[in-house]
Amino acid sequence: MATIAKTPQWTYKGVDGSGKSVKGVLEASSEAQAIQQLKARGVMPDKLAEKGAGTGLQQEIAIPGLERGPSLKDLALLTRQLATMVGAGVSILRALSIVKDQTENPKLRRTVVEISAKVESGTALSDALEEFPLVIPPIMVHLVRAGETGGFLDKSLVMVADNFEAETKLRSKVKAALTYPVVVLIVALLGVAAMLIFIVPVFEKMFSDLGSDLPAPTQLLVNLSNAMPIVVPVVIVASVAFAIWWGRSKNTEAVRKVVDPLKLKLPVFGKLNTKIALTRFTRNFATMLASGVPILQSLTIVGATSGNHVITSSLDAVQAKVREGRPIAEALGGAEIFPDMLVQMVGIGEESGSIDQMLEKTADFYDDEVETMSSQLTAMLEPLMIVFMGALLGFMIVALYMPMFMVFQSIQSM
């Protein structure tokens, strides 16, 4: 008796056209087909996972959201390899087949296989890439489409790789600047928690035998120690709940409207976040214009990839002014987020017909600014965190020994 193959089911979460979060289950033969169905419904998917692949011991254990997606470094390596082979005259289909075997990330490898199948069936490479928005960034899709239209696909792939590598370098600088302070802070908090849980109760038993009132700092530590059995579980549960909520909501417009402006106004990190957002905007804008993508379309794409809602909303107003026929520099000058230097560089580029080159130079300038600020931030935070950790632990040690000092003083006075 013939067995009828069951169509796979896919669980999804995303945002509909009105900005409302939606989730559900649909049937589709592949991930690409599932994404097409969601697009037809007006849903922009955020998470998509196959439901129930197999049964029993043959079932593949897959926890949605835990599979590591491709990093920008993975995408940069992929596009760099494609650019090299396409530039050497290798067909795009053959190039995809080769890079598939060299791709380490499982999710990206499966995506390349499906893209290759679509290209083999006659779909343009850019159209095939566009069907995988959860893996392929929109800037890559539009740059590849520009290269296909203009007949310089290899050069557009090189631009994509350069862009991803520059973004990877930028993120590495910021992570390097923040790693040490974060590690020191975590160690300090763990040290404090360990003292409150294990050491303070031992001293508290000793203090109770003294029969006298404890100094205010010591009493504070004792109260905190007694509260730890309640505080620690609450903090853990709250942290896990916040992490789950943040993972689902951080990209929604309602959250970004509140969080992104705050990122630019933080006392120490506000300027750094602003420089990072401007670096990403200018470099992406320069790459799009250099590839021949129209200005209005470029503004739409770089707004979506800027990583900050303030820039995205500002670019909506910029696009409206450009549609009215105003110069780009004038349109950018009307937005508070864009500094005068950026506006002037764009104005010079408009006059000389080299906006992309001016934007690239501006991106390099902001990139250097980010590197300098990151180094300064690290140099400033390192001693501050050491002083903070020393002062915190020193306060706890002194508070624990203060009752003993009081006992010794009372004995000497007798």
Cα dihedral 25, 30, 35, 40, rounded to 10, equals: -80
Overall pTM surpassing 0.75 (yes/no):
no
Angle (CA) 372 373 377, round 5°: 120
Residue 128 is predicted with a pLDDT of 92
Residue pLDDT, tens place only, 99-122: 887 888 888 988 998 999 899 888
Joined tokens for residue 397? 């040690």
Is the model more confident about 28 or about 350?
Answer: 350
Q: What are 349-360's pLDDT values in tens digits?
A: 998 888 989 998
Question: pLDDT tens, 140-190?
Answer: 888 888 888 778 888 888 888 888 888 888 888 778 777 877 888 888 888
Each residue's pLDDT tens digit, 207-253: 776 666 778 888 888 888 888 888 888 989 999 999 898 878 877 77
The CA angle 338-342-345, to the nearest 5 degrees, is 155
Q: Are 26 and 34 in contact (CB under 8 A)?
A: yes
Query: What's the mean pLDDT when you consider all of the chain?
Result: 81
Residue 138 in contact with residue 131, Cβ under 8 Å?
no
- Choice between 51 and 282, residue whose per-residue pLDDT is larger: 282
55 confidence band (pLDDT: 50, 70, 90): very low
Task: Give the residue from 122, 120, 127, 71 showing the smallest Cα distance to 96.
Answer: 120
Quick one: average pLDDT of 277-291?
86
Residues in the chain: 414
